Amino acid sequence: MQTDLRGRDMITTQEWTKEEIDTVLDVAMELKRKRALGEPHALLRDKVLTMLFFFSSTRTRASFEAGMAQLGGHAMFMDSKTTQVSHGDTAKEIGQILGRYTSGIAIRQVDWGAGNQYMRWVAEASRSPVLNMQCDLYHPHQILADMMTIMEKKGDPRGKTITVSWAYASSYSKPQSVPNSLVLLMTRYGMNVRLVRPPEFKLKPEIVEQAKENARKYHSSFEIMEDFEAGVKDTDIWYAKSWGPLLVTQDPKEDRRITDRYKDWIADERRMAMANEDAIYMHPLPADRNIEVTDDVLDGPHSVVFDQAENRLHAQKAVMALTMK
């Protein structure tokens, strides 16, 4: 267990060692047990977390707020549109000032080409740790919860196959932060990772290269596939969700034209049956029901999406307890 994580930013798990991530997961499991037993664990009494949102949220806001309350502290919600952030405050000022007011700054900023950079500018100026609640490139707390769920449901992840597949969605073009973070972390835990997507939905080359290097270092595998059903066949974990063709276009009309070519990329019962008999289905939610994934899969016996959502609470509490001074 690592004991020197105070003040550390959590912007991407890739910047933490595997031993440090193991510590987060160990603490998350312990805090989950304490919550189940009703044991108080006010580890952050009198601490305040700033939560700055540039993008809407349900699970992220609720889990961070609840987590801070359970740790004995307070989460302060800030909307970029209703504060001076929208017309005046720079990233440097946010880091300098909120870093002095509070013990941590959590940010959700998913604008393509801007979100991650904004967080790093804030972190550079802040004396308190910056926690990434999702940016355009990474969603670390979601992926920590995902790994926690896989360990609970499947045991030792080494040697297990996880299919990270694109799926069609009609609501809006979603960030690439979830598939990026999945391929980066799961390869570090010895998993055989299949990235399955149509040709227009590539991930950034530097992310792919990092995943390949992780697979080499941790004796796992990383494979890119364009055959949807072949990618699902005999897998242990199927993580099917949508993301945008952002390396091809940022034009909404062109994005929709490309995306609509693949309306048949839906997680349904027929394809779920191609996975291993005891396979689990995962999704960070919200899902486009009966478009991205059918009700029969999302609410079916293979789905662990609500346990996965609960683990957001415990994983985030672990990060906050370990990093906030």
Which three-class secondary structure string do you get for 118-179?
Answer: HHHHHHHHCCCCEEEEEECCCCHHHHHHHHHHHHHHHCCCCCCEEEEEECCCCCCCCCCHHH
- Residue 62: pLDDT band with limits 50, 70, 90: very high
This prediction has a pTM of 0.96
Predicted confidence at residue 325, as pLDDT, reads 79
Whether the Cβ atoms of residue 305 and residue 282 lie closer than 8 Å to each other:
yes
- Residue 85: pLDDT band with limits 50, 70, 90: confident
Q: Looking at domain 142-308, does it have CATH number 3.40.50.1370?
A: yes
Per-residue pLDDT reduced to its tens digit, 131-171: 999 999 999 999 999 999 999 999 999 999 999 999 999 98
| CA pair distance 231, 240, nearest whole angstrom | 11
Predicted confidence at residue 185, as pLDDT, reads 98
Radius of gyration of the chain (CA): 19
Distances (CA, A) of 80 to 108, 126, 158, 224, 299: 10, 18, 41, 37, 35
Q: Looking at domain 13-139+312-323, does it have CATH number 3.40.50.1370?
A: yes
Whether the Cβ atoms of residue 106 and residue 131 lie closer than 8 Å to each other:
yes
- Residue 82: pLDDT band with limits 50, 70, 90: confident
Per-residue pLDDT reduced to its tens digit, 3-57: 999 999 999 999 999 999 999 999 999 999 999 999 999 999 999 999 999 998 9
Q: For tokens 């999406």, name the residue.
A: 305
Mean pLDDT of 266-280: 98
Distances (CA, A) of 143 to 17, 69, 149, 288, 315: 15, 22, 10, 20, 9
- Neighbouring residues of 281: CB distance < 8 A, sequence distance ≥ 6: 238, 239, 240, 267, 272, 293, 297, 298, 300, 302, 303, 304, 305
- Residue 88: pLDDT band with limits 50, 70, 90: confident
Q: Where in the chain is the domain with CATH 3.40.50.1370?
A: 13-139+312-323, 142-308
Which carries the bigger pLDDT value, residue 22 or residue 84?
22
Mean pLDDT of 242-264: 96
The answer on pLDDT for 273 being more than 90 is yes
Predicted confidence at residue 302, as pLDDT, reads 98
Per-residue pLDDT reduced to its tens digit, 223-246: 999 999 999 999 999 999 999 999
The answer on pLDDT for 172 being more than 90 is no
Whether the Cβ atoms of residue 187 and residue 222 lie closer than 8 Å to each other:
yes
| CA pair distance 301, 282, nearest whole angstrom | 12
Q: For tokens 């967080």, name the residue.
A: 119
Which region among 46-50, 80-84, 175-179, 186-190 has the lowest average model confidence (pLDDT)? 80-84
- Neighbouring residues of 47: CB distance < 8 A, sequence distance ≥ 6: 68, 71, 72, 73, 74, 102, 103, 104, 324
Largest CA distance in the chain: 55
Predicted confidence at residue 243, as pLDDT, reads 97
